[in-house]
Chain A
Amino acid sequence: KQEVTQIPAALSVPEGENLVLNCSFTDSAIYNLQWFRQDPGKGLTSLLLIQSSQREQTSGRLNASLDKSSGRSTLYIAASQPGDSATYLCAVQGGYQKVTFGTGTKLQVIP
């Protein structure tokens, strides 16, 4: 059974700081890994999708890496802004398109 862990559970940083969110998964037989952002009371916004054959994806100030063999992914946020405050979810997709989510990292960027 796939298990996804995100560390830290919560993070508070001053504005402008670079930061890294971590995600680990137990079963490396995945098709892709996705990072989402969830604002309070809202749905999920997809940030980055990394296919199993890829090592990283970049979008603006965000960079996600994937090391499938070791079961790890990181989300790097450069020059953090207060608007980045949200919960960040990591999700891995295995066979039959089953997606397993981590419990998330709650990020607060302090102005």
Chain B
Amino acid sequence: SQTIHQWPATLVQPVGSPLSLECTVEGTSNPNLYWYRQAAGRGLQLLFYSVGIGQISSEVPQNLSASRPQDRQFILSSKKLLLSDSGFYLCAWSTPGHSNQPQHFGDGTRLSIL
């Protein structure tokens, strides 16, 4: 069966520090991968999605970037964190080529910027 892992679960970082959140998927090949953010009092917003290694699409302009160095690995990064980067970050995967297939979510990373 397929599983998705995100880490860390919780992270507290100072303003201006770098960030790296990792997401890996097991039990499937060439999944579509997604990063979402849930800011306080707001809904989940799609940040990035990837349909293959090295292929990243950004949905909103921001201080963050994403990379996919391996088929089942998706990384969310920042060189210098802002206070506004605080939030709950969720990674998700889906079966490619089937628009009616749902996305499956990880347990999330709660990021607090001080």
Contacts and interface: CB of A to CB of B under 8 A. Distances in A.
Interface of A: 4, 31-32, 34, 36, 41-44, 46, 49, 51-52, 89, 91, 93-104
Contacts, number: 57
Given A31-B100, A34-B102, A103-B42, A42 B107 contact: yes
Contacts of A100: 46
Interface of B: 6, 32, 34, 36, 42-46, 49, 88, 90, 92, 94, 99-108, 110
A97 B94 contact: yes
A101 B44 contact: yes
Nearest to A101: B44
A83 B35 CA distance: 29
A43 B90 contact: yes
Contacts of A31: 99-100
Nearest to A6: B43
Interface of chain B: mostly helix, strand, loop or mixed: strand
Given A43-B90, A43-B108, A44-B90, A99 B43 contact: no
A41 B32 contact: no
B87 to A, nearest CB: 12
A4 B42 CA distance: 12
Contacts of B43: 4, 89, 101-104
18 contacts: A31-B99, A34-B102, A36-B105, A41-B88, A41-B110, A42-B107, A43-B105, A43-B106, A43-B107, A46-B102, A89-B43, A89-B44, A93-B100, A97-B103, A99-B46, A100-B46, A101-B36, A101-B43
Contacts of B88: 41
A4 B44 CA distance: 11
Nearest to B103: A99
A93 B108 contact: no
A98 B43 CA distance: 15
Contacts of B6: 43
